[in-house]
Structure 1
């Protein structure tokens, strides 16, 4: 049976690797991004990859791509922007752009593919959030807020459609070693807390393991450090706050 996957943010980083993995596994792949050159690199030597230039902040454009793709069996939504700027110094139009791409882009993608999945009785929604949604750090205010909104939206969708056959995973990695993260770390080492990014393949391996288990666990924490940080936020918030303050001093 033909399986179609739609991957957003597919021009680089996690989205590109996810797209290449799915294409190599035989999926009919629709790769979406605003970066046409990056999409071409992702699709190189993958005849089953179809590239579409699209800004996920545009709901009509997303709907048109999904309508053209037909039945989408898996959505991997990795499109995001995340400038590191102190909250009061970040231009309002940039804050709005982060919310439109990161949060509303997620809403647009889900609304475009989920009705068809529910009608067919199955499908996968893989949504990339962030550890920042649980543990915001300095200069991540807009990004962390948008990712936290993704968590809340996904929890509502999962509760409203439990039993509908659609598996939802919200992936919350810590810093990932992508071109965007390396550029941010080089420009502002303090804002990235001196943390080495985890390999993108490790994040996607964790997603694959979660989907293979076929359980109903919504969140995916890709490594022990990420999970420990989330637990520390819940059970030892004061200690975590002091550690983060020391790391970002």
Structure 2
């Protein structure tokens, strides 16, 4: 059996293992859905009346909520990696004929599947609240692809942070930056309304281009150059996370 086939089979096994863990502990999925939905309700019904975005605020804010959902969901990946590391199960895998890359790949791919499912639920809740996207099926497919790229990038970064953390609680704290970024972007308000000292950062950080791409696709408006910028950000974050996680995993001493 070739090394590649063996690695793919091991990765599939690890994905199944992590999915079973998620199903046995549904609180992770519940919180991943509940927190963004609660924030959606707050922004639409508490702050929405004061927001002037040139149209329906719920149509404007939902793309940002979807990215926030991805951030919360990816945080669980960092905790899961840190938990495996500090529980000793990783040492057991190392003692078995298991591809080393499969351990992290399993966590990342499970995160993508879990986050896409929870994102779909959040979209249904948003529609029930009045969200009215005008995208055709092709644009919906592009939205799913863009969100999958974003989740994949965050999940590899989360895996690296999980390896860096001294314990699962610290791993969860490391993910705060990813959950904070949507608030300093065009996800919830247009960037031109921000103070000048903050506007430059908001306009050129990854969440803004990704939010603008998802919003344009959902509302059938021109996407412009935000799509290639968003894909470049996702590729860069994913590559950095993948290389960092791989290097940290190889250097991690066995216990």
Same fold per superposition (TM over 0.5): no
With a CA cutoff of 8 Å and minimum separation of 6, indicate the structure with the bigger relative contact order: 2
Whose Rg is larger? Answer: 2
Higher strand share: 1
TM-score by length of 1: 0.31
Higher helix share: 2
TM-score by length of 2: 0.31
